[in-house]
Amino acid sequence: MEELRTDICVIGAGSGGLSVAAGAVQMGARVVLIEAGEMGGDCLNAGCVPSKALIAAAEAAAMQRGSARFGVGAVEPAVDFGAVKDHVAGVIAAIAPVDSQERFEGLGCTVIRDWARFVSPRAVEAGGRRIVARRFVIATGSRAVVPPVPGIEAVPYLTNETVFGLRERPEHLLILGGGPIGMEMAQAHRRLGSAVTVIEGARALGREDAEAAAVVLAALRAEGVEIREGQGVMRLQALSPGVEAVLADGTVVKGTHLLVAAGRKVALEGLGLEAAGVAHDARGVTVGAGLRSVSNRRVYAVGDAAGGAQFTHLAGYHAGIVIRQAVLGLPARVRGDHIPRVTYTEPELAQVGPTEAEARALWGDRLSVSRAEFHHNDRAQAMRAGEGFAKVMIARGRVVGATVVGPHAGEVLAPLALAVSARMKVSALAGVVLPYPTLAEIGKRAAGAHFAPKLFENPRLKQVVRLVQRWLP
C-alpha cells in the first residue's frame, strides 16, 4: 500500500474542512484532503445553499401575491416547481467551483475521494493509501436524525438530503420537527403552492426567544401553514399514496409527502476512532478549548464533529482556531458567546449571544434589556414590513446579546454581532451614525433606548438644563 506523509490530513470537505485545507496549504503546509461524498459537504449540496435558493424562489412568489399593498396589482404566481428546482441546482453549480476538487488540487492539496478510516493514532487509510500525518482534522459534519417513530421504517420520507431533488410539488407536505429547518421549509413550500402541516412535540422554534418566535409563528400561520405544537407522533403509516401520522391526542393527520426535520447527529461512523485513541460520544469528538482531542493530541475536530452548535459559520470560525494552532503554532481558544444564528423565514429571526431568558439567568439584576420596534423604523414602514423588534441585552455597560425578529433580521444583526464579539460598550453602538433610512437603525435605536430614562426621565437633569438655558448667552 502506498504511503503518503503530510503535515495535515483533513477528513471531510465541508465548510470547516475546506477552510482548514485552503488556509493551511496556502501558508505552506502539506495537506491531504479526504472526502467520500460531494465536495462542499452538506451546506453546499443539501443545506444552506439549496434551502436559501428555494426560499428566494418562494419569496418571489409571495411578492406577487402580496403586491397590492404597494399599489401594484396582485396575481397568483404560476409556479413551475421543476423550474424552481433548476434554479436551486443553478445556484449550487455557480458556487461549486469554489469548493471543487480541481480548485483544491490547484492550491496544492492532495485530494482523495474515498472514505477515511484511522488504523493507528497517527495514520488513516483511504483510496488504497496510508496517510501518515503530523496533525489530523476531523470535519465530517452531521446528517439528519430519523426519530424512532413506530412505522417510520415502512414510510417513504424525505430529509434535507433528498427534499431538494423533488421535481413535483408536494400536494400536502407533513414536516416532523418545528425547528429552524422545519419552519423554513414549511413557509417555502407553502408559498410555492403546497399545503403544509408542521408537527412539533414541544414548542416550535423552542430554542429561540419566545416573544420573537411568536412573531414568526403568527406570520406562518397567517400564510396558511398549520403548526401543531405539543403533540408528538405516536405512529406513522403509509397510504396509497401518501402518509398518515397519528398524534399523541389521537388526531390523524394525512399528507402526500413526509419531511423529517427532527435534528441532526454527528457523522463519525466508520472513522475507526477507537484505533486512533480518539475519545468521542454521541455529541462528537471530545475536545478541549482549542478543539484538540483530549485523548490524541494529533487530532482536532471542527464544526459539527466538535460537538457544539451546528452552523456553517461556526465551522469556519473553528477552522481559524485550528489553523492558528496546527499551522502557525500559536495558542488559540474557542469562544461560544458571540456565535450568531438566523432562521430564514419571513420575518427572519436572528440571535447573537444569549436570549433574554438566558441572559437573565446569567446576569440577574445586573442585566438591562433595551428594545426598539420595527414599526418605528422608517425603512421597514416603506417596505410595509413593520412587524417585529430588536432587543439588546446589556450587562455592565456592554452588549452581551441581541435578538432581532423582522425584515432581513440576519443582515440587521451584523453590527449587533460585532458589538457582542468585540464586547463593545452600549454607548458605542448608540453613538454610531448609520445612513437613513435603513433597517439597521433599529439596533442603534434599541441601544439608544438604554439611555432614555437617564436623559428624559431624570428630574435633576431637567433642573440642570433649565439652569443652563437661563445662563447661556
Residues 124 and 238 in one domain: no
pLDDT band at 395 (very low <50, low <70, confident <90, very high): very high
Examine the domain organization and report whether 129 and 269 are in the same domain: yes
Domain check: are 30 and 136 in the same one? Answer: yes
256 and 170 in a common domain: yes
The answer to whether residue 121 scores a pLDDT higher than 80 is yes
- Average of per-residue pLDDT across 412-423: 98
What pLDDT score was predicted for residue 46?
Answer: 95
Q: What confidence tier does 460 reach under pLDDT thresholds 50, 70, 90?
A: confident
Rounded to two decimals, the pTM is: 0.95
Q: Let me know if residue 46 belongs to a domain.
A: no
Looking at the structure, tell me whether residues 225 and 288 fall in a common domain.
no
**What is the predicted pLDDT for the residue at 94?**
98
pLDDT, residue 464, reads 85
Task: State which of 263, 279, 305 marks the end of a domain.
Answer: 263
The range of the structural domain enclosing residue 271 comes to 2-39+100-144+265-326
Q: What percent of the chain has pLDDT over 70?
A: 100
Number of domains in the chain: 3
Residue ranges of the alpha helices (H) in 247-288?
273-276
In a domain, 197, yes or no: yes
For residue 79, tell me if it sits in a domain: no
The reply to whether 60 falls in a domain is: no
Most distant CA pair in the chain: distance in Å? Answer: 92
Q: How confident is the model at residue 459 (pLDDT cuts 50, 70, 90)?
A: confident
With respect to residue 64, please indicate whether it lies within any of the assigned structural domains: no
- Residue 463 within any structural domain of the chain: no
Position 291 in a domain: yes
C-alpha cell read off for 121: 493514532
pLDDT bucket at 235, cuts 50 / 70 / 90: very high
Same domain, 344 and 419: yes
Q: DSSP for 318-372? A: HHHHHHHHHTT--------TT-EEEE-SSSEEEEES--HHHHHHHHGGGEEEEEE
Segment 282-306 shows an average pLDDT of 97
Within a domain: 94: no
Over 80: is that where the pLDDT of 455 sits? no
Same-domain pairing of 138 and 22: yes
> Do 137 and 270 fall within a single domain?
yes
Judgement on whether residues 216 and 233 belong to the same structural domain of the protein: yes
Q: Are residues 221 and 241 in the same domain?
A: yes
What pLDDT does residue 79 have? 98
Residues 273-291 have a mean pLDDT of: 97
**Mean pLDDT, rounded, of the chain:** 96
**CATH number of the CATH domain containing 383:** 3.30.390.30
Q: What percent of the chain has pLDDT over 90?
A: 95
Query: What pLDDT sits at residue 458?
Result: 81
DSSP character string of 373-393: EGGG-HHHHHTT----EEEEE
Q: Which residue has the higher pLDDT, 163 or 468?
A: 163
| pLDDT for residue 465 | 84
Tell me whether strands 129-138 and 142-144 are parallel, antiparallel or unpaired: unpaired
Q: Tell me which DSSP letter residue 175 carries.
A: E
Q: Which of 44-53, 240-249, 419-428, 460-469 has the lowest mean pLDDT?
A: 460-469
Last residue of a domain, one of 222, 241, 263: 263
Give tens-digit pLDDT for 59-118.
999 999 999 999 999 999 999 999 999 999 999 999 999 999 999 999 999 999 999 999
Give the C-alpha separation, 6 to 109, whole Å: 10
* End position of a domain, from candidates 263, 279, 302: 263
List 208's β-bridge partners, or say none. none
Same domain, 278 and 304: yes
In the block, which residue shows the cell 487509510? Answer: 125
Distance between CA 416 and CA 449 in Å, rounded?
A: 15
Look at residue 137 and tell me whether its pLDDT is greater than 80. Answer: yes
The pLDDT of residue 168 is: 96
Q: What is the mean pLDDT of residues 327-333?
A: 97
The CATH number assigned to the domain holding 240 equals 3.50.50.60
**Same domain assignment for residues 285 and 364:** no
